[in-house]
Amino acid sequence: MKLKNRKMLLGVSGGIACYKSLEIVRGIREAGGSVSVVMTRSAMEFVKPLVFQTLSENPVATSLFSLEEESKIGHIKLSENADAMLVAPATANIIAKMAHGIADDYLTTAYLACSAPVFVAPAMNHHMWDHPALQDNLALLVKRNLHIIHPGSGYLACGSYGTGRMAEPGEIVTVLEDYFDRITTGEQAEKPLNNIRVLVTAGPTRERIDAVRFLSNDSSGKMGYALAEKCRQLGADVILISGPTALSPPVDIETIQVKSALEMYSAVMANSEQAQVIIKAAAVSDFRVETPNPQKTKKSERMTLELVKNPDILKTLGDRKTSNQFLVGFAAESQNVLYYAEQKLKEKNLDLIVANNILQKDAGFDVDTNRVLLIDGDGSIDLPLLSKEVVAGRILDHIMATDKFRSIMATKLKNAPSA
Ligand code: PMT
C-alpha cells in the first residue's frame, strides 16, 4: 500500500491511450491512494466520464463552466487537495499548453493551480514525439521539475513503429510509488545525489571496417539514458558519454557523443577523475578492425578481417579507482549469468555489477524493460521484470544504501566549502 492516503489528481487528455488510464485509476486505488479525474473534451470522445467516475468513486471534472461540477469540486480545490498530479495520456497539444501556461479548460487550469509534483506520461505518434517543437516543450516542463514518464517504443495506434506509446499503467503506478517511497524516507526532499558527480556511459560503439561498413551491437542506449535521467532527478551533476543511438540527448545533461571504443575510452578517461559514481551501461565492442580501409572495400568472394583487442575501459577504471569512487559495471551474459558476472565484479575491481541475460526477449538489448541481478560483495538481488526507468531507480537506491556510498557522501560534505 505504497500510495496509502495519497490523493492523486489524474488529468486525461484525448488520445487512444485513454483506455489505459482506467487501469492507472485501478492501480492507484489498489496501492491505497484515491483519485480525482479531470478530462479534456477530446478525452471524452474516447472514454465516457462515467467509466472513470465508477472506477475512481469520485466525481469527474470536465467543464469549467458547469455550475453543478464547479459547486461540487472546483478546479482550485482539486489542485490544492492533490498530493501529486498525473497527466496520462499527455498529448502533444496538452504538453504544449502546459509548457506555455495556456489555461483554457479544466485540466490546464487545474495544472496551473497545482503546486504538488506533476508527472506527465506522453502518448503520441512517433513523428510527433520526435518533432523539435514537442521536444522543446518537454524540455520546458523538465526545467520546471515536472517528472516525465517516457513513452515506450513499439507498434503505435496509427500503425507505424517507433517511440510514442504511453508507458504501461503498472509502470506509471510504480513510478508514483517509488516517488512517494522516497518522500517517506525523506530522501527526495533533500535530493540525495546533490553535490555528487556521476558519469554514465550508454549505447553501443561502432568499429569501422571501411568507409561504409562497421561492427557494432544492438544496444539502444535506453538503459544508460534512463540511469543518467534518474541521477539528474536525484540531484546529481551528470555527464553522459554515449555511443551512437536513436535517442534524443537528455535535457539538462551534459552529453558527449562518441562512436568507437577508443573514442569512448578517451572521453571516459578525461572525465572520470572528477566523478564519485561511474556507471558503465555501454556495450563496448571488445575488438576493432586493426586497419580500417579508408575507401569502400570492393566486393569479393571472401573478406578477412584482422581484429585487435580494444582497451577494457571498465577494467582501467577499476585499476585506477580511488576510495572516493563507486564503480558500477554491467554484465551482458547469455549463460551462467551469476557466475560470469561475479568474475567481472572481482576482475574489474567493481563495487556493484548489474547482470542481465541478453537472451531473454524482454530484457537486455533494445527493449524498454529489463530483468537484472544486482551483485556486490554482500551477495546478489534478483529484480523482477521492470521498465528500464524503474530498474535505474532500483540500481541507484541500492548504491545509495551502501556503506561505501555513505562514506563518499560524508567525505564530500566534510570537504564542501561552508556557506
Ligand atoms: O542499451 P540498451 O538497448 O538499453 O541495452 C542495455 C544493455 C544490454 C546494453 C545493458 O544492460 C548492458 O548489459 N550493458 C553492458 C554490455 C556489455 O558490454 O557487457 P559486457 O559483459 O561485454 O561488459 C562488461 C562491462 O565492461 C560493461 O560495463 C562494459 O561497459 C564494460 N566494457 C566492456 C568492454 C570494453 N572494452 N570496455 C568496457 O568498459
Q: What DSSP assignment string belongs to 134-157?
A: HHHHHHHHHHTTPEE---EEEE-T
Specify the pairing of strand 369-370 against strand 386-387. antiparallel
- DSSP lists the bridge partners of residue 59 as none
Beta carbon of 46 within 6 Å of any ligand 1 atom:
no
Which DSSP letter does residue 14 get?
Answer: S
- Say what the pLDDT of residue 313 is: 98
Span 209-254, pLDDT tens digits: 999 999 999 999 999 999 999 999 899 999 999 999 999 888 779 9
Report the helix count and the strand count for the chain, using DSSP H and E: 16, 21
Domains of the chain, earliest start first: 7-187 (3.40.50.1950), 192-292+302-415 (3.40.50.10300)
- Say what the pLDDT of residue 416 is: 67
Beta carbon of 350 within 6 Å of any ligand 1 atom:
no
For residue 18, indicate whether it is catalytic: no
Q: Rounded to whole angstroms, how far apart are CA atoms 188 and 341?
A: 31
| Helix, strand, coil content of the chain in percent (nearest 5) | 35, 25, 40
- Dihedral sign computed on CA atoms, order 21, 23, 28, 29: positive
Beta carbon of 312 within 6 Å of any ligand 1 atom:
yes
Q: Which three cell numbers stand for residue 60?
A: 469527474
pLDDT of the chain along its 419 residues, tens only?
889 989 999 999 999 999 999 999 999 999 999 999 999 999 999 999 999 999 999 999 998 776 666 665 666 778 878 999 999 999 999 999 999 999 999 999 999 999 899 999 999 998 999 999 999 999 999 888 899 999 988 777 777 778 889 999 999 999 999 999 888 776 656 788 988 999 999 999 999 999 999 999 999 999 999 999 999 989 999 999 999 999 988 877 999 999 999 999 999 999 999 999 999 999 999 999 999 999 999 999 999 999 999 999 999 999 999 999 999 999 999 999 999 999 999 999 999 999 999 999 999 999 999 999 999 999 999 999 998 988 999 999 999 999 999 999 988 877 766 54
Determine the longest span between alpha carbons in the chain, in angstroms.
Answer: 80
- Among 382, 3, 18, 384, which Cα is nearest to 175's? 3
- Dihedral sign computed on CA atoms, order 263, 214, 319, 394: positive
> Are 311 and 298 spatial neighbours (Cβ–Cβ below 8 Å)?
no
State which amino acid sits at residue 122.
P
**363 CA to middle of ligand 1, Å?**
13
**361 CA to middle of ligand 1, Å?**
17
Beta carbon of 365 within 6 Å of any ligand 1 atom:
yes
**Residue given cell 479531470 in the structure block:** 38
Q: Which three cell numbers stand for residue 407?
A: 562514506
**329 CA to middle of ligand 1, Å?**
7
- Say what the pLDDT of residue 419 is: 45
